[in-house]
Structure 1
Amino acid sequence: MATRLELALLSARGVGKGIRLLEYVGLVIVLAATLLAGGHEVWRMFSSGKVGISDLLLLFMYLEMVSMVETYWRMGKLPVRMPLYIAMVGIARHLMADSSYHDPWLMIAGAGAIVLLAVGVFIVRYGHLRFPYTQASEEATDRE
């Protein structure tokens, strides 16, 4: 007969597997939505016969989303830098495409936001290189 501790461990493993399954389902949904949106954008470009830099940046954002889903699926964790890259491209796209950003102060604010995000990427990357994770700290983080 199983002890209470063994039953609790089995229950925790089941919950962990259920959460992991939900993560995979969510990733499939995000991937499908990204592919659908990207396909719609490509169709719109072919239909209009026009492709601008804003369209290319949007496609690049979709590609980064696919890459982010693939990385999370394969590794089970998400590098912080990937959403920062997507945010930088998104701000650049808005600065180029949205006519309300032609005010010089809004352009400077958008450029400043991109610079802050780039500094954030640099800090995160430096931290990973200077203070790399050890196997023991990764296992401790996984247990928490």
Structure 2
Amino acid sequence: MTSTLSDMESDEHDARTQLAALRSDRAALADRVLQPWWWDVALGALVFLFFGSYATRNWLLIAAALAVFLLGIYGLVTYYRRRTGLWPSADRPGLQPLLRLWLACCVAWAVAAGLGMSFAMPWLVAGVSAACGVVVTVLSRRSGQLFVAQLRGEL
């Protein structure tokens, strides 16, 4: 019976050691998953560039802005994956309100762009595009902070 008790204590010790190692790995991951500030700013600038290109009403410039947007997004995603070794899921606790806010921003932009293009008000399209760029910058930062909090077990 003593050997069985000793085996159970050994197994418990091993389990605690493994759990501590997992917690340490999660903490290390949490330290590296938050993107640098310039990443959020670059994302916001890409959104502004693409959305704002509609103010020109020139389909060639809009297509060029789309190409820059897609290449920029590809570059940001590639950088993030190389830096962290992962890409976070959009199905995370606390992220849904941020996604709803981004959807509302896109709807507002679409309405403003429709009005701006219909009534020759490029300043309206550019202004709402700039606001969307700022919103996506803030939402990107907040999303990263939520991911860190999730990994640290704070959510």
What TM-score results when the alignment is normalised by the length of structure 2?
A: 0.32
In our comparison, the structure showing a higher alpha carbon Rg is: 2
Which has the higher relative contact order, 1 or 2, with Cα contacts under 8 A spaced 6 or more apart? Answer: 2
What TM-score results when the alignment is normalised by the length of structure 1?
A: 0.33
